[in-house]
């Protein structure tokens, strides 16, 4: 057997924010880590400001503000994009590919939106685009989905993939606090952005779900096909009722096959929404900023991956794990066929069910006038629409009102919503206070 070549592989780094610094720190300090890191050379680092003070010593001749020069540098084999945002990240990735560079990116927003364009270009150019860091921070999930888990027929993937919302929901649960005050506190502590929309409206989770589902089900996903609903409407009252019923509320990203009996991909459900998760479920115990992804497949059963979903160190760990995967391939076979475990070659688009056709349990909280017969009328209405109920609890409130909390069995969404439309018109119903889905 040949000796492992001691070829050095030049890496160009685009961006020196927290993840960029974390990545450079690993590359510049390889002792005690995987020996392949010693063969990666941080050749050039692209930044906006050469003179900004940074918590790391980068040789001055490495730094440049000319990012275009990095992606076209013939000495560089792999470009790491940790700029974030859509542009210039997308253009730089495409230019790097056009110049025959492999790309490692942490940019979920770009991959979820422009994955088609990027992977089509990468396959034509014969380069890899690696994205372990784009989802789940330091949790190895992309590589297992491409490799170890791929021998299974994946039936479902369910994840807590946004740390900010998990932090807010965990605190709402512990403190019986309201969304807006805890969001404000999270912003003060740096757990939520000044503009929190991408997180709290579920958009970041939708980006990640599009990427994970594409890997799990082996087809391309249009981001517009992913339903997403955020956590702004979750109240302390819902948290308390959920707890009483044996649930916690989590923002889940769910991808599942419509029929588990059908081995070939038929139709997917792709949705992000706050969800009542039974206390006994493995995802129920995932708290604070942690992420976790549960994968179900045949014949494997359930496996779950848990860890830090963000942060400089974890994300940098994922970036460098992609770098060594590419390096191993370059060293063993610099000009061979693409390694089918690293490349991403699926071409077709997954068919995604409209939300009206998904199946879920539902949690419903109503404010009603406290009159005899209301419960009966609700039960009849649901029954007429084929919605069967698991539990119904009425609690007296002040001023002749009652709060009614209903949990349904699994039902087609359209049936539930049609029943709900009828219920809204009942004179006894003052208000539909919340509608949440139940795992």
- Within residues 104-163, the interface with a copy of itself by CB under 8 A covers 123-126, 132, 138-140, 143-144, 147-153
Q: Which residues pair with 102 in a beta bridge?
A: 78
20 or 138: CB nearest a copy of itself: 138
Question: In a 3-state reduction of DSSP, which class is residue 279?
Answer: coil
CA dist 412 and 235 (Å) reads 25
Ranges of beta strands (E only) in 75-208 are 78-81, 102-105, 129-130, 153-160
Number of residues that bind a copy of itself (CB under 8 A): 72
Two structure tokens written together for 82: 């940790």
Residue 293 Cβ vs a copy of itself, minimum distance, rounded to whole Å: 11
- Footprint of a copy of itself on residues 312-351 (CB under 8 A)? 312-314, 316-318, 320-321, 323-325, 328-329, 331-333, 336-341
Which of residues 66, 181, 233, 302 is near a copy of itself by CB under 8 A?
Answer: 302
Question: Hey, which residues between 165 and 224 contact a copy of itself (CB under 8 A)?
Answer: none
219 vs 379 by CB, closer to a copy of itself: 219
CB of 137 to a copy of itself, least distance (A): 9
Instruction: From 284, 257, 251, 283, select the one nearest 270 (Cα to Cα).
Output: 257
Q: Are 291 and 137 in contact (CB under 8 A)?
A: yes
Tell me which stretch binds a copy of itself (CB under 8 A): 42-50, 166-174, 195-203, 259-267: 259-267
Concatenating the DSSP letter of every residue in 1-42 gives -PPPP---EEEEEE--SHHHHHHHHHHT--TTS-GGGGGEEE
Closer residue to a copy of itself in complex, CB, 89/342: 342
Residue 41, token pair as written in the block: 């050379």
Distance, CA of 232 to CA of 170 (rounded, Å) = 14
Closer Cβ to a copy of itself, 138 or 230, answer by number: 138
Q: Which is nearer to a copy of itself, 243 or 434 (CB)?
A: 243
Identify residues 8-27 at the interface with a copy of itself (CB under 8 A).
Answer: 22, 25-26
Measured distance CA(317)–CA(320) in Å, rounded = 5
CB of 24 to a copy of itself, least distance (A): 12
Contact segment (CB under 8 A) with a copy of itself among 184-192, 234-242, 291-299, 363-371 equals: 291-299
User: Which residues are catalytically annotated?
Assistant: 208
């Amino acid at each position: 057997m040949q000796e492992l070549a001691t070829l050095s592989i030049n890496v160009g780094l685009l961006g020196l924010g927290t993840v960029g610094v974390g990545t450079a720190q690993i590359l510049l300090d390889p002792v005690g880590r995987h020996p392949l890191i010693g063969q990666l050379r941080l050749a050039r680092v692209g930044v906006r400001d050469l003179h900004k003070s940074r918590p790391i010593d980068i040789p001055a001749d490495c730094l440049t503000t000319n990012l275009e020069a990095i992606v076209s540098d013939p000495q560089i084999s792999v470009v790491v994009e940790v700029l974030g945002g859509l542009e210039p990240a997308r253009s730089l990735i495409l230019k790097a590919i056009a110049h025959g560079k492999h790309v490692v990116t942490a940019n979920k927003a770009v991959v979820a939106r422009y994955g088609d364009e990027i992977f089509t270009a990468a396959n034509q150019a014969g380069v890899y685009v690696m994205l372990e860091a784009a989802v789940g921070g330091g949790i190895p999930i992309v590589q297992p989905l491409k490799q170890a888990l791929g021998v299974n027929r994946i039936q479902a993937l369910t994840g807590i993939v946004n740390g900010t919302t998990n932090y807010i929901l965990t605190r709402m649960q512990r403190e019986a606090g309201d969304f807006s005050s805890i969001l404000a506190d999270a912003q003060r502590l740096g757990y939520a952005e000044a503009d929190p929309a991408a997180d709290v409206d579920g958009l970041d989770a939708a980006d990640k779900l599009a990427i994970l589902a594409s890997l799990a089900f082996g087809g391309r996903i249009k981001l517009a096909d992913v339903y997403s609903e955020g956590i702004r409407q979750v109240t302390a009252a819902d948290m308390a009722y959920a707890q009483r019923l044996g649930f916690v509320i989590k923002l889940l990203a769910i991808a599942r096959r419509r029929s588990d009996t059908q081995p070939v991909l038929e139709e997917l459900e792709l949705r992000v929404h706050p969800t009542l998760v039974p206390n006994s479920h493995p995802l129920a115990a995932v708290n604070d900023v942690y992420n976790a992804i549960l994968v179900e497949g045949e014949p494997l059963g359930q496996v779950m991956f848990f860890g830090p979903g963000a942060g400089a160190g974890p994300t940098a760990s994922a970036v460098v794990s992609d770098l060594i995967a590419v390096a191993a391939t370059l060293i063993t076979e610099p000009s061979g066929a693409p390694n089918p475990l690293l490349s991403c070659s699926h071409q077709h688009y997954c068919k995604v069910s409209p939300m009206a056709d998904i199946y879920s349990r539902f949690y419903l909280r109503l404010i009603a006038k406290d009159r005899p017969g209301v419960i009966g009328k609700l039960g009849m209405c649901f029954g007429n629409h084929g919605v069967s109920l698991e539990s119904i609890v009425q609690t007296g409130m002040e001023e002749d009102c009652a709060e009614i909390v209903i949990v349904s069995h699994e039902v087609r969404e359209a049936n539930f919503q049609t029943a709900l439309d009828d219920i809204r018109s009942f004179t006894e119903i003052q208000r539909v206070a919340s509608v949440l889905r139940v795992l």
